[in-house]
Amino acid sequence: MRIRSLGTRFAVPCVAIGLILSGCSADTGGSSGTNLIGTGNDINAHDVADLRDGGNLRLVLSALPETFNYLQVDGTTENTGDVIEPLLPSPYTSNAAGELSVNHDYFTDIQLTGTNPQQVTYTINPKAMWSDGTPITWEDLRSQAAALSGRDPAYLISATSGFERVEKVERGVDDRQAVVTFSQPYAEWQGQFSPLYPKASTESAAAFNDRDRNGLVVSAGPFQISSIDRTQNRIVLSRNPAWWGATPKLDTITFSVLDSSAWLPAIQNNELDVAYMSGIENVTGAKQAAGVVLRRTPEPSWSHITFNGAPGSLLEDPQLRIALSKAIDRQGIVNAAQNGVVDDPKPLNNHIYMQGQKGYQDNSGPISFDPTAAAKMLDDLGWKLNGEVREKDGRKLELRDVMYQQDGWVQTAQIVQQNLAQIGVKLNIQTVPGAGLFKDVIDPGNFELAQFSWGGSVLPLGALPQIYAYDPNNLKSNKARIGSPELNALIERTISELDPDKARELANECDKLIFASGYSIPLQQASGTYAVRENLANYGAFGLASPDYTKVGFLK
């Protein structure tokens, strides 16, 4: 599966993600149309009265979750996110336009009740309970806020999500109300507590890191985990008998782990109900499959090439990274990936906002395609041609480009390889199975270039401190190991700005610094093309919308 917008989810690297760990595929097929996000979605919407009771929704994963704690550094992956989405509370839901509303299954009201200091009051639905029968209370929020504050390094968190700015979480009028007070303002406060875990999973570092490693001990959604079969690589969810909301139409949801090459055959053989399609062969095959339709909606996921700029690395010099970036024909890559998928495909020119999102603007000037200028920059930096490959101080400019083992990524890498060869840079292509790409290669820094995708949400500013802020002692999701005190300070200003218009202006100033640092090369925004069983309703290409698993089902 590909990452869907949960409205408030962390940015994650995803597999064709928000990250499994592996890289999303490039898009090379599907029905043509706009790539502007937030213009609608394609989920075969039906009233629940049109659906039959029961049924099993068959979905696909690239790997079993390494942990079911999405907040833990090993768990912020597309695979984990897909599995827990029907299982855990989230304060908000998002519609197709990216507009947030309170998730009343879990909270009767959420209000920004103060700005100096910033204060948010959460009133919990009195019916909301964990699957072990204990009520969801303010203490669950207090415990999670403390765990994600970053104050105790024993908690191996993937992002602080603004909780480093939370001064305290107090009991409100009763146990079903939490009052969150901030020591510093936080712009994207609506993105906090999504997902929410029980106090028992966050009250100690040991519990946070390992309690939910092999499954969710307790949950609080319309579904619950009924089995995890590590031999068959399969997870089955079933209805939660303690669920207080609308009764789901489905009986079960089954997640099966399959290599991406097996997704189309599984769709054709009626072994899956939904799968992301990339590559013209896959799209054509899915179109011809009996009982299958293609559904498409642009989504907040985007492909890119990230550099390794760690101190002492071959690409430590930002000017070297800029030179390499200017030699890469992004338009050519996007043409190869999306011709026939979207009308007039264009590269993504922003690290924070998607095309069609308010705030999107082109900040990509520093990496504009100019091979002649790129070659001159390399000359000026002392990288001189010696035969076909440049050298400096006896070291060849020979780079490793790592990626998920999938044809679409390899095609992109081959174009990059040809581009760089024209300026005297040798690129070696290294493919990695999905389960090992991040854990074994990217996270340890065993690369010069890495191709993968980020899956985002309707609240994009949270990606700034998670991905682009740099602390050598706490990298979070900064896979590039690139940053500066100047950018860190600007990120702090941005996420402290409660005026949305001013925050967007500051975010674009951050993006300009990110481009100027040669952090990464944005490629294309995901087209969001899915092969879906034609009788499946209220599920498919969600775009910015949140799924409602109580309304998903099969037509009568």
Burial class from Cβ neighbours inside 10 Å (0-12, 13-18, 19+) for residue 395 reads exposed
Give the whole-angstrom CA distance, residue 434 versus residue 23.
Answer: 7
Task: Name the band, by pLDDT with cuts 50, 70 and 90, for residue 278.
Answer: confident
For 218-350, list the strands marked E by DSSP. Answer: 223-229, 234-239, 252-257, 274-276, 292-296, 301-307
- Please give the CATH number for the structural domain made up of 301-525: 3.10.105.10
Q: Report which DSSP code applies to 555.
A: B
Query: Residue 241 has what pLDDT?
Result: 96
User: Which residue has 């969810």 as its token pair?
Assistant: 237
**In CATH, which superfamily holds the domain spanning 88-211?**
Dipeptide-binding Protein; Domain 1 (3.90.76.10)
Both tokens of 240, joined, read 């939660």
The pTM for the full model equals 0.85
Mean per-residue pLDDT for 456-480? 91
C-alpha to C-alpha distance for 332 and 198, rounded to whole angstroms: 48
Rounded Cα distance between 254 and 383, Å, is 53
215 Rama sector, left if φ>0, alpha if ψ -120 to 50, beta otherwise:
left
372-376, 423-427, 457-461: which range is least confident on average? Answer: 457-461
Q: DSSP states of 459-482 as a string?
A: -GGGHIIIII---TT--TT-TT--
CA–CA distance, 273 with 524 (Å, rounded to integer): 26
Q: Give 541's DSSP letter.
A: B
- 48-64+230-297+528-555 adopts what CATH topology? D-Maltodextrin-Binding Protein; domain 2 (3.40.190)
pLDDT band at 405 (very low <50, low <70, confident <90, very high): confident
pLDDT digits (tens, 9 = 90+) for 3-46: 343 434 455 554 332 222 223 434 433 344 556 788 789 999 99
Q: For the residues 129-138, what does the mean pLDDT come to?
A: 97
CA distance 32 to 43: 17
According to the model, what pLDDT value does residue 166 have?
98
Do domains 48-64+230-297+528-555 and 88-211 share one topology? The answer is: no
What is the pLDDT at residue 330?
98
pLDDT attached to residue 510: 98
Residue 325 has pLDDT above 50, yes or no: yes
Residue 196, token pair as written in the block: 């929410």
If you average pLDDT over every residue of the chain, what do you get? 91
Domain ranges of the chain: 48-64+230-297+528-555, 88-211, 301-525
Nearest to 96 by CA among 36, 48, 50, 51: 36
List of E strands, 15-143: 56-61, 92-94, 100-102, 107-115, 118-124
Residue 279 phi/psi, 5-degree rounding, is 95, 135
